Amino acid sequence: MRVQMRALRLSTYTAICLMAVACASNREPSKQVLIQGAWQAEFEGQAMTLEYSVEEVTVREFGISFPYEWVDDDHIRLNAMGQEVVSHVEFEGADIMLQTTEGDTQEMRRVR
């Protein structure tokens, strides 16, 4: 009986450890990963599609690209024709991105 209890405790402990490791490895993707892809946004009444790669954002409708970089885990710095802009980036799930620049928030929706 004592051996069975010890074996049961050991197997329970092992199962808990394995579940903890599995949960820890299933973290959500970082913002640096989530931002990549195409996003639909509206600027001054005009719909635009922005496509983010690792270091560049392209405005599809105009065929122009601008470099950007991550300042920290929550902010990107965009250099658009010599004008530098820093935006706070948040995600509401994987399909809605909010970028706040100087108090103005822009909502973008992922294009699939």
Distance between CA atoms of residues 19 and 88, nearest Å: 34
Q: Supply the range of the domain harboring residue 86.
A: 31-110
Structure confidence by residue, pLDDT tens digits, 19-53: 554 455 567 899 999 999 999 999 889 999 999 99
Q: Is residue 36 part of a domain?
A: yes
Structure confidence by residue, pLDDT tens digits, 49-73: 999 999 999 999 999 999 999 999 9
Q: Is residue 48 part of a domain?
A: yes
Higher pLDDT, 1 or 91: 91
Q: Is residue 55 part of a domain?
A: yes
Query: Considering its fold, how many domains does the chain have in total?
Result: 1
Q: Is residue 46 part of a domain?
A: yes
Query: Is pLDDT of 88 > 50?
Result: yes
Distant-in-sequence, close-in-space partners of 110: CB < 8 Å, separation ≥ 6: 37, 38, 39, 40, 94, 95, 96, 97
Residue 97 burial (CB < 10 Å; 0-12/13-18/19+)?
buried
Mean residue pLDDT across the chain = 84
Q: Is residue 8 part of a domain?
A: no
Q: Is residue 3 part of a domain?
A: no
